[in-house]
Chain A
Amino acid sequence: MSDSDTHGSVPAAEPGQGTTRAAQDGRASGFPIVARTDFSETTFLLEIEHPQMARAAKPGQFVIVMIDEHGERIPLTIADFDREKGTVTLVIQAVGKSSREMQARAQVGATLYGIAGPMGIPSEVSHAKKVICVGGGLGVAPIYPQARAFKEAGAHVIGVVGFRSANLVFWEEKFRDVCDEFIICTDDGSAGIKGMVTDGIAQAIAAHGDIDEVVAIGPPVMMRACSEATRPHGIKTMVSLNPIMVDGTGMCGGCRVRVGGRIKFACVDGPDFDGHEVDYDDLMARLKRYRPQEAKAMERWDENCRMLAMEEEAR
C-alpha cells in the first residue's frame, strides 16, 4: 500500500484523547476492554477504558457501540463509570447477532471499534426524599448508578430488583451498599420474594406511605407494569426507554417514541420519560420492526460459528 493509499479506508476510532493513528492492516485500533465478568450464560459485563467518557458520564446516559467495521451501531446503557480508573461499564445481554458476537469476541485485551457517548439527557436526580429504584433483568445494571446518585443526594433509597431465578442475581452487595432497603424478586422464588418487581413495589408502597418517586429500568413490559402499579397512587414514575437506534445523535428519528401524544426522539429528548405518559404499545410494536432481519442475521451467525467449529474439529 503506497503512502497516499492510506486515506482510502475509513479510519478506525481513536480512543479518548489518544493520538494513535488507525492501524493500517485492517485491525481496528479502537477502545480497549480492560475487564469482563460473566454473570450468567447470556449476561456479561465489560469495562472499557475511556477516561474522557468516564469523566463526562452521568447516570441515565447511554453509548452507541460498534464491534467492527461491518458491525451495526447498538445502544447500550452506561451501567457504571469510574472517574479515577477512567473506565465505563456496560452490561450486555446476548440476545441477537451483535450482542452474541460481542459475547464471543469482547475479551479482555481486545478492543471495540467504536464507542460514542455519553448520549442522551442524564437522569434528573430530583429532590425526592424517598425513592424506589426498580431494575428488571438487564435493567438492574443501569439502575445502580441512579440509586447511588439518589443516596448521595440524601434520599431514602429502596432498591427493588427482579430476576428470573437466584442464579441470575448479580451486584447484590453493590446495591445493598447504596440502598436503605433492598428487595430482590425472583419469578421462581429461589431468592428474595417470589413474584415480579411490581410485587416488590407494592410491598414498598404498603410499608411507606410517602414515596415521592419511582425510577424503573427494564424490558418495556416491566416498565409498563411499574407505571400501572404507581398510577393509582399518583407517584411520579420515570422510565428509561430502549427503542431501536442508529446514530444516537438526533439525526435520523429511528428512535421516535410517543409520549403524552407527541413524538419524541429518545436519543436526544430522553431516554428518560414520565412513565405515565409513554405509549408502550407503540414502543413495543416499533421494537419488532426488524424481527425477520434480526432472525436472518442470527441464523447466519450461528451457521458461520458451526462451520468454524467444524473446521476446528477437522484439524
Chain B
Amino acid sequence: MARKTIRSIPQERAFMPVLDAETRATNFEEVSLGFDEANALVECERCLMCPEPACVEGCPVGIDIPGFIARMIKKDYHGAWEVLTDSTLLPAVCGRVCPQEDQCEGVCAVAVSGGLEPVAIGRLERWLGDKAIENGWHKKSHVEPNRFRIGVIGSGPASMACAADLAKAGCEVTVFEALHAPGGVLRYGIPEFRLPNSVVDAEIGNMKDLGVEIRNNTLVGRLFTVEQMMDEMGYDAVFIGTGAGTPKFMDIPGENLNGVLSANELLTRCNLMHAGEFPNFDTPLEIGKKVAVIGAGNTAMDAMRVSLRLGAEEVHCVYRRTEAECPARKEELHHAQEEGIEFHWLTAPVELLGDDANNVRAMRCQRMELGAPDDSGRRRPVPIEGSEYEFEADTVVYAIGTSPNPILGQTSKVGLNKWGYIDTDADLATSLAGVYAGGDIVTGAATVILAMGAGRRAATSIRKYLGIRDSMVVYEPERTGFEDTLFGIDMAEKNFTQLRQI
C-alpha cells in the first residue's frame, strides 16, 4: 500500500450526528450520537500512520493509537479493542469526556503539519468502547492470585484504574465508596447527556469481572481510618483516590441566600439522586427561571446545561476572563452556546442580593479587563472602576473550582501539602509506608484520563513496593513439558504473579 499523504486522505472529518439543539435542551438524552461503522472507517482512513506518532505521546496513558486504528481498518474490531484496553480501562468513558484537543488530537500530524482537522481519535475510541459494551466483550484474563490484599479508597476514575491493574496482578482488591453508588464524578458529576449511566455501569462491571469488590456506604476516615486499614484490617497497601470534591465559594456577601448552591450540589441532586424526576425520586431541587452560573470550566458547562434541561428559562454564564481563557472543552462550550446559554465574559460578581424571604434575586457584578500575566501565565482579570451593575437571577450556581476534602486529613497522619492536598513523591507514595494516592486529591481538580493515569502509576508503584513481578507481560499459555514452570517461570520462584490472556 502506498504511503498515505496529507493529500490522499479524506480532507474533512467523517460525519457524526448530534441531537439538534432545540430538542436536546429539553431532555437528558446523549447529545453526541457517535459514529456509525461506515463513518468510523472513513475517519480511520484519515490517520497517516506516523512512524513516530505524536498522538501516543499526547495520550496520558499512552494508548497505541495507530495500532488500534490499523486493526479497525482491517475490520478486526475485537483486536482493535484489545489494543485499546491494554492501556485504558474506560474507553467508552474517555472517548467521550477527555479533552482530546489538549491531548492526543492536539498533536496529531494531520492538524499540526497538515492544517486539517485532526483525526477524531476520541470518537473512534468511543466507537470501539461502545461496540465492546454492546457485544459484551470482556478481557478473558486468567489471573494467578497472590497473597496481597489492597484497599482502595474512593471509586472514581483514579481508583478504578488502580484497582483494575492490581486485580490483574493477582491482588485481592476492595474498593470503599462513601456514597451509595460507585463511579465518583462519573456518577454524580458528569450528566447523562454527556456520559450515560449505562456506560458507567458497564465499565464498573468490567472491574468486578476482574474480582474487585466494591463496598458502598463506607466513609473511610470515619468508619475506620487509613491507619486501621494497614494495622488491624490487614491490607498490604492502600490507594487513596478520594478526589477534590469540596466546592469553593468566594466569600462575598449573600452567599448563604437560598437559591445559591454549588455546582456539586446541583449535579449531585440531579445525576446521583435523580432530582429531575422528583417526586418519583424523593430528592428535590429548585431551579429558578433565570439561572446564573459563576465559572466557565467543564463543571460550569454541565451545571448550565443541566439547569436548562430542568426547565430554567434563561441560563447565563458569568466568567471573569474571556472566551480564550475558558477552561472548558471546546466541544462542550460549543454545545452550550448552541443550546442558547448566554455568556458574559470579563464579568465577576461582588455581592449577591436577596429579597425579604432570604431568596437570591440578583447579583452585583463588575466588569473586568485583562491585565498583566500572573504566575500561571494567564492574564489576570482586573476590575474596571465604577463598572458595577445589578444582574437579576433567582438561582446562582458556583462552579469556581474545588478544594481538597478535609476528612482524611482530619483523621489520619498522611502528610498534606500547604493547600491541603495529599503530598506524594514521584512514585505517588504518601508519607505513610504502603499508602499511595493519586488523582484530584493529589493534583487538585483535573481530568478523568489524568486521574486514570495516576491510578495506573500508583498501581505500578504498589506492585513494586510489594515485590510483585511485572504483570503487564503477556505470557503464552502453558504447554506440555512445562510441568515445573508456570508460564515459563520456575515454580520455585516466590512472590510473582502473571496475567495470561486467552
Flag if B258 contacts A10 (CB, 8 Å). no
- Assembly CA distance A71 to B223 (angstroms): 23
User: By the criterion CB–CB under 8 Å, are B201 and A53 in contact?
Assistant: no
Check A282–B256 contact: CB distance below 8 A: yes
B217 adjacent to chain A (CB < 8 Å): yes
CB nearest to A293 among chain B residues: B284
Inter-chain pairs besides A7-B205, A9-B201, A253-B262, 20 sampled, C-beta below 8 Å: A4-B138, A13-B180, A19-B213, A72-B283, A98-B282, A114-B217, A116-B180, A117-B219, A119-B219, A246-B283, A249-B178, A250-B406, A250-B407, A251-B188, A252-B262, A252-B264, A258-B256, A265-B246, A292-B286, A297-B282
Question: How far apart are B406's CB and chain A's nearest CB, in angstroms?
Answer: 5
Closest residue of chain A to B219 (Cβ to Cβ) is: A116
Q: Decide yes or no whether B216 CB sits under 8 A from chain A.
A: yes
Q: Chain A residue with minimal CB distance to B233?
A: A17
Category for how many chain A residues contact B: 35 or more
B23 interfacial contact with A, CB 8 Å: no
Chain B positions within 8 Å of A14 at CB level = 215-217
Q: What does DSSP make chain B's interface, helix, strand, loop or mixed?
A: loop
A254–B284 CA distance with the chains assembled, in angstroms:
12
Kindly identify which residue among A10, A247, A258 contacts B201, using a CB–CB cutoff of 8 Å. Answer: A10
Asked if A263 CB lies within 8 Å of chain B CBs, one says yes
Q: Which of A174-182, A199-207, A231-239, A283-291 contacts B (4 or more CB under 8 A)?
A: A283-291
Interface 1/0 per residue, A89-132 and B, CB below 8 Å? 00000000110000000000000011111110100000000000
Q: Is A209 an interface residue (CB 8 A)?
A: no
Contact of A56 among B204, B208, B223, B405 (CB under 8 A): B223
> How far is it, in angstroms, between the C-alpha of A253 and the C-alpha of B405 when the chains are bound?
11
Q: Is A315 an interface residue (CB 8 A)?
A: no
Q: Does B224 contact A (CB under 8 A)?
A: yes
Residues of chain A within 8 A of B284, CB atoms compared: 72, 290, 293-294, 297
Q: How far is the CA of A147 from the CA of B264 in the complex (A)?
A: 37
Tell whether B480 is near chain A: CB-to-CB under 8 Å. no
Task: Specify which chain A residues have a CB less than 8 angstroms from the CB of B278 in the assembled complex.
Answer: 293, 297
Q: Mark B409-453, 1 if CB is under 8 A from A, else 0.
A: 010000000000000000000000000000000000000000000
Docked Cα-Cα span, A251 to B246, in Å, equals 5
Please give, as numbers and ranges, the residues of chain B lying within 8 Å of A265 by CB-CB distance.
246
Q: Which residues of B contact A254 (CB under 8 A)?
A: 261-262, 265
From 282 to 296 in chain B, residues with beta carbon under 8 angstroms from any chain A beta carbon are 282-286
Report which residue of B181, B245, B282, B285 has the largest number of chain A beta carbons within 10 angstroms of its beta carbon. B282
What's the least CB distance linking A307 to chain B, in Å?
A: 15
- Contact call B286/A290, Cβ cutoff below 8 A: yes
Q: What is the bound-complex CA distance between A66 and B281, given in angstroms?
A: 12
Residues in A whose Cβ lies below 8 Å from that of B208: 7
Write the chain B residue with the least CB distance to A66: B180
Name B406's closest neighbour in chain A (CB-CB).
Answer: A268
Closest to B264 in A: A252
Q: Say if the beta carbon of B202 comes within 8 Å of chain A.
A: yes
Chain A residues within 8 Å of B410, by CB? 121, 268
Inter-subunit contact A249/B405 (CB<8 Å): yes
Question: B286 near A7 (CB under 8 angstroms)?
Answer: no
List the B residue with the shortest CB-CB distance to A279.
Answer: B256
Q: Find chain B residues with CB under 8 A from A7 CB.
A: 201-202, 204-205, 208
When C-beta atoms are compared, the residue in chain B nearest to A101 turns out to be: B282
Closest 4 CB pairs of A and B: A7-B205, A293-B284, A252-B265, A285-B358
Which of A6, A11, A118 is B222 in contact with, Cβ under 8 Å?
A118
- How far, in angstroms, from A162 to B159 measured CA to CA in the complex? 48
- The residues of B that contact A208 with a CB separation of less than 8 Å are none
A9, A72, A282: the one contacting B273 at CB < 8 Å is A72
Interface size class of B (residues with CB under 8 A): 35 or more
Stretch binding the partner chain, chosen from B104-112, B247-255, B366-374? B247-255
Q: Which residue of B lies closest to A9 (CB)?
A: B201
User: Would you give 14 A-B contacts (Cβ < 8 Å), ordered by A?
Assistant: A4-B205, A7-B202, A11-B182, A71-B281, A116-B180, A116-B218, A117-B223, A247-B179, A249-B219, A250-B405, A253-B246, A263-B256, A268-B246, A289-B258
A253 with B219: CB separation less than 8 A = no
> Whole-angstrom distance from the CB of B339 to the nearest CB of chain A?
25
Give the distance in Å from the alpha carbon of A215 to the alpha carbon of B247 in the complex.
30
Q: Is the CB of A263 within 8 A of B405?
A: no
Asked if B282 and A289 make an inter-chain contact with CB atoms under 8 angstroms apart, the answer reads no
Note all chain B residues with C-beta closer than 8 A to A306. Answer: none
Q: Are B262 and A249 in contact (CB under 8 A)?
A: no
Q: A53–B269 Cα gap in the complex (Å)? A: 26
CB distance from A260 to the nearest CB of B (A): 13
Cβ distance A288 to chain B, nearest Cβ, rounded Å: 7
Q: Please tell me if the beta carbons of B181 and A10 are within 8 angstroms of each other in the complex.
A: yes
Q: How far is the CA of A19 from the CA of B172 in the complex (A)?
A: 13
Shortest distance from the beta carbon of B17 to any chain A beta carbon, whole Å: 25
CA gap between A116 and B457 in the complex, in Å = 30
B386 in the interface (beta carbon within 8 A):
no
Does any Cβ of A come within 8 Å of B280's Cβ? yes
A289 touches B286 (CB 8 A): yes
Contact A251-B279, Cβ < 8 Å, known A113-B180, A118-B222 = no
A263 x B201 contact (CB < 8 A): no
| Chain A nearest Cβ from B228, distance in angstroms | 9
- Asked whether A116 and B217 contact (CB < 8 A) given A71-B282, A250-B405, the answer is yes
For B405, the chain A residues whose CB sits under 8 A away are 249-251, 268
Q: How far is the CA of A19 from the CA of B215 in the complex (A)?
A: 9
> With A7-B208, A286-B256 as given contacts, are A53 and B223 in contact (CB-CB < 8 Å)?
yes
**Measured CA separation A269–B246 after assembly (Å):** 12
Contacting residue for B265 out of A61, A119, A249, A253, CB 8 A: A253
- Chain B residues near A296: list those with CB within 8 A: 279
CB-CB under 8 A from A268, the residues of chain B are 246, 405-407, 410
Residues of A within 8 A of B283 (CB): 72-73, 246
Q: How far is the CA of A256 from the CA of B398 in the complex (A)?
A: 13
Q: A27 in the interface, Cβ–Cβ < 8 Å? A: no
Scoring B202, B216, B262 by chain A CB atoms within 10 A of each residue's CB, the highest score goes to B216
> Of all chain B residues, which has the CB nearest A301?
B279
